[in-house]
Amino acid sequence: MNLDLKDKVIIVTGGASGIGESIVRTLAIEHARPVIFDLKSANQCAELLEELKIEHVDGAFISLDLTKEDQVAEAVSEIGKRFGRIDGIVNNAGVNDSVGLNRSPADFSKSLEKNLVQCFSVVHHALNFLKKSDAPAIVNIASKVAITGQGGTSGYAAAKGGLLALTREWALDLASDGVRVNAVVPAEVWTPMYENWLSTLSDPDARRAEIEANIPLGNRMTEAAEIADTTTFLLSPRASHTTGQILHVDGGYVHFDRAYQGKDT
């Protein structure tokens, strides 16, 4: 399907790896111009950048610390000058940093800065460009933790819950400007980071099987590409009257009874 994203300039935070990387690749397939904002250096994602070059995608990469507002402002300004437009933002960057109640209020504040405040900062500085676009859109990548909780990660849970609240707030706030705002909520997504976490456990295969048993649709992890496909659709004019929505791309994980074990056939 042609999603009418050709030449659209879309910032993807945390776009150098995991879900963000998959979103960047999917945008490239749709002939958009993905712009990667990431803490990693260009050398650390050389393979991705080379692939985009081969595919003749006129995108960009900026290494920055998203918690530093001056760096965000400078990066957005640079992209605006280079392309003359910004049509979309994917607030994807974040980290489940295990800042729980046993940590200090200062640690909690830092977690919010890493996972929520930086999202506000990117949108704030890009807003004038978005308002000038003919089909502007924002997609916030949240987490099942905002809905279900997890335990031991107060900062991340609060940040992702706040991101869902901002999705609804911004959708209302920006409706008169034609800026659509939606959120995608992943649950158990198979990424290199997830695989690395599993590898630290005593029996990774058993733990993966246990997790997948609680995912009703297919008893499998969600693929990063599946998050990317939904995100890309929401960024596109094909979703032209969809705003303020929270979409769970999780194989039914969040909305089905945890005791569900499938049906006999």
Among all residues, which ones are annotated catalytic?
156
Angle at 116 between CA 119 and CA 93, to 5 degrees: 60
For residue 123, the Cα-to-chain-centroid distance in whole angstroms is: 14
User: Which two structure tokens, joined as six digits, stand for 85?
Assistant: 């437009």
Are 253 and 51 in contact, with CB atoms under 8 Å apart?
no
Mention every residue, 6+ apart, whose C-beta is less than 8 A from residue 44. 16
How far apart, in Å, do the first and last CA atoms of the chain sit?
35
**Structure-derived torsion over alpha carbons of residues 127, 228, 1, 82, reported in degrees to the nearest 10:** 40
Burial of 89 (0-12, 13-18, 19+ CB in 10 A): buried
Token reading at 53: 């070059």
Angle in degrees, CA 240, 28, 135, rounded to 5: 25
Encoding tokens for residue 203? 């029996």
Helix or strand holding residue 184 (H, E):
strand 180-186
H helices present in the chain, as ranges: 18-29, 46-54, 69-83, 105-112, 118-132, 145-148, 154-173, 192-199, 204-212, 224-235
